[in-house]
Amino acid sequence: MKSMFIIKEYDQLKALSDPFRIKLMMRLVEKPYTGQQLSELFEMSRARIHYHLKELEKLGLIEIVKTEEKNGILQKFFQSVSSGFYPDASLLPHKEEISETKRLMMYGMMERTMGRILEAPSSAFDEAGDKDPSEWNILASSWETVTSEENFKWFVKEYFQLVGEFQRRAREEEEVEQNTYYLTGMGFEVAESKFSERIMEKEKDR
């Protein structure tokens, strides 16, 4: 699976601007599924699921990664071709659709994250108490900062470098007990602050 897929066709962009297809893609990024499995997962008819799968496959957004025979029926497992999608500069005339597609992708990520939170074991939240949040065994934080676009892009670059270092350290760990951690990172410009002035002033003092 590629880490990033460049969307170059308008039809690909339109396909990813559908709220249900975003939900479908979020699952297919995680692992391969058959049409039957997705039908049960989303409580939707197999015919409807297969319609969406065929459309996404035709546009090159998903692919069949393996097949298995069960009770004389050949099962096809579909998976996303990439873990991330980004529109090519050639699609810039469609700025509104690009913005809406990105918005829906982020919303889909958040919705999937909510599901993973509900599925997480209670032990995941054992150490999230009144002490310093940096000592918790979870990462849970939301804040607003008034800054330049250039500074925000610097932060995003540093963030991804930190994630890369985190994954590198995880690969190098030997003979230690390991757990699986799910991380979601989001940041975007907003029209106005929803935080109180007191909180915003406290952020400026840091």
Render pLDDT for 28-74 as a digit per residue (tens, 0 to 9).
999 999 999 999 999 999 999 999 999 999 999 999 999 999 888 89
Q: Could you please report the per-residue DSSP string of 93-126? A: GGHHHHHHHHHHHHHHHHHHHHHHHHHS-GGGGT
Over 70: is that where the pLDDT of 199 sits?
no
Over 60: is that where the pLDDT of 206 sits?
no
pLDDT confidence of residue 81:
97
Over its C-alpha atoms, the chain yields an Rg (Å, rounded) of 20
Q: Is residue 75 very low, low, confident or very high in pLDDT (cuts 50, 70, 90)?
A: very high
Question: pTM score > 0.85 for this model?
Answer: no
Please report, rounded to a whole number, the percentage of residues in the chain having pLDDT higher than 70.
95
pLDDT confidence of residue 197:
62
Average pLDDT, the chain: 91
* Domains assigned to the chain: 5-89 (1.10.10.10), 120-205 (no CATH)
Helix (H, G, I), strand (E, B) or coil at 81: coil
What are the tens digits of pLDDT across the range 117-142?
999 999 998 887 777 888 888 998 88
**Cβ partners under 8 Å of residue 40, min gap 6:** none
What are the tens digits of pLDDT across the range 148-196?
999 999 999 999 999 999 999 999 998 889 999 999 999 999 998 887 6
Residue 82, strand partner residues: 2
